[in-house]
Structure 1
Amino acid sequence: MLFDLILVAIDDQPHSKAALDYAIKLARRERAELMIIAVAPIPQITGTIDEVIDAGESGREHLEPFVRAAREEAERQGQPVKTSILLGHPAEVICDYARANNVDLIVLGKKRHHFGSVSERVIKQAPCPVFIAGESEVIKYIEKGAESGKWELRKDMRTKLEGKAKMMRIYIGEGDRLDDKPLYQAIVLKLRELDMAGATVYRGIMGYGGHQRLHKSRFLGLSRDLPIMISAVDTQEKINSVLPLIEEMVSEGLIVLSEVTVIKYAHGRAPD
């Protein structure tokens, strides 16, 4: 087994669900032990001992239903689990708990558009690999010396896509830009960030759009506003989830969807 003991840290935020779902799935696949913890943070401004204790108890009571629901979900899926609610600074508590229990992997949720401060601190201080669930990004532990750690960020490889799927085609101009970047490049990077199965950019030699203006390649020259088509294929659910974001990026152009059948989706080992 790659992991014998998996720790997932949850709180009362929506991104915790992705972390819990992934941790349960991985624990079942690896036949690993699963620990679920939640950390009630201590007040930023320290008061009297009684005030700190009261704040901790209040935080514990607030987190209890979330931890109970997480335990019930794990048990519903047939995964044995241990749970704890702890008090302290979340990142420090998570790392200390992982170290004390010889945890093999820490799973955290990712906020919508970025790592939170807790995630960043855990990544820097953790004694083991850290998986940030929600965007399929894996923080892999390489080596850790006494003073600093060395980490790398990799995409979790998609291994299966077959049968009925959706194809999204986006038609724009080569000269279109977004935030000082070619729009086609911004779209492809966004699709990759959103963990789409794949995307390809095609450069046309002639075409026109809503303005009826003809765009074509010049003989022995280059046109900087040729038609561009971006093609991406994935499940209907995935396409539906990314479509609103792509629509926001494309102020002028055409976006179409079509049904496709995936015969084969295969790739080699991800490059180091």
Structure 2
Amino acid sequence: MPFKRILVPFDTSELSVKALEKAMELSAENQTQIFILHVINEIPIPIRYSKIESKNNEVTITPLAKKIHEEIKNEMILILEDVKNKYATNYISISTEIKIGDPVEMIVDFAKQNNIELIVMGSIGHKGITGMFKRLGSVARRIVEEVEIAVLIVR
């Protein structure tokens, strides 16, 4: 069964690049839409620096966290544009998106909202503030547990 809508959670790690290459292989004969999603973890800010306000049903976060998120996002926009240009072909459409939040929640929600048929992801990824995967395989394991679609884990 050919997959027409494939999601690749991408954190720039070697395994996320391998996952993207595997998604490209699976798409080689088909008109396929590949979605590359990068998730920036929420940044824990010490209480004394944080300021979360709610105005008109909108939550605003501390300017420090917002600045850090924007810097990471701007860097990732350039990286994802390069990745998109490198892998784009006539028969494969690639879109990129960046979200901020819990990686598992963002990936699961994105898959549901975009009618994804297959998720191709690395078993582990970067650690730290910009990395998608905090603990060895925890995100991949939780994704497999939470979605009802095919998931291909690349090692």
TM-score, with normalisation over the residues of structure 1? 0.44
1:134-179 CA deviation, whole Å, 9 max, x = no partner?
3xxxxxxxxxxxxxxxxxxxxxxxxxxxxxxxxxxxxxxxxxxxxx
- Maintained 8 Å contact 1:15/1:111: yes
Check 1:70–1:4 CA distance in 2 against 1; reply closer, same or farther (3 A cut): same
Q: CA deviation at 1:53?
A: 2.0
Question: Equivalents in 2 of 1:44, 1:27: separation in Å?
Answer: 38
1:106-147 CA deviation, whole Å, 9 max, x = no partner?
1111239x952211221111231111123xxxxxxxxxxxxx
Question: Equivalents in 2 of 1:64, 1:31: separation in Å?
Answer: 25
Q: CA deviation at 1:38?
A: 0.8
1:11-57 CA deviation, whole Å, 9 max, x = no partner?
12221110110011112234321111111111134733123322321
Question: Percent identity among equivalent residues?
Answer: 27
Partner SS state of residue 92, structure 2: coil
Check 1:59–1:126 CA distance in 2 against 1; reply closer, same or farther (3 A cut): farther
Please show how residues 106-185 of structure 1 align to structure 2 within 5 Å: 106-111=119-124, 116-134=137-155
User: In structure 2, what residue type is equivalent to 1:61?
Assistant: N
- Maintained 8 Å contact 1:19/1:109: yes
Stretches of structure 2 that go unaligned for 5 or more consecutive residues are 52-60, 126-134
Please show how residues 1-272 of structure 1 align to structure 2 within 5 Å: 1-45=1-45, 47-48=50-51, 49=61, 50-75=63-88, 79-111=92-124, 116-134=137-155
User: In structure 2, what residue type is equivalent to 1:116?
Assistant: G
- Maintained 8 Å contact 2:123/2:154: yes
RMSD of the TM alignment (CA)?
Answer: 2.3
- Maintained 8 Å contact 2:31/2:91: no
Partner SS state of residue 152, structure 2: strand
Question: Equivalents in 2 of 1:120, 1:44: separation in Å?
Answer: 23
Q: How many residues align?
A: 133
Question: Equivalents in 2 of 1:124, 1:66: separation in Å?
Answer: 30
Question: Equivalents in 1 of 2:136, 2:149: separation in Å?
Answer: 18
Structure with greater contact order relative to length (CA < 8 Å, sep ≥ 6): 2
Question: Equivalents in 1 of 2:136, 2:26: separation in Å?
Answer: 21
User: In structure 1, what residue type is equivalent to 2:111?
Assistant: A
TM-score, with normalisation over the residues of structure 2? 0.74
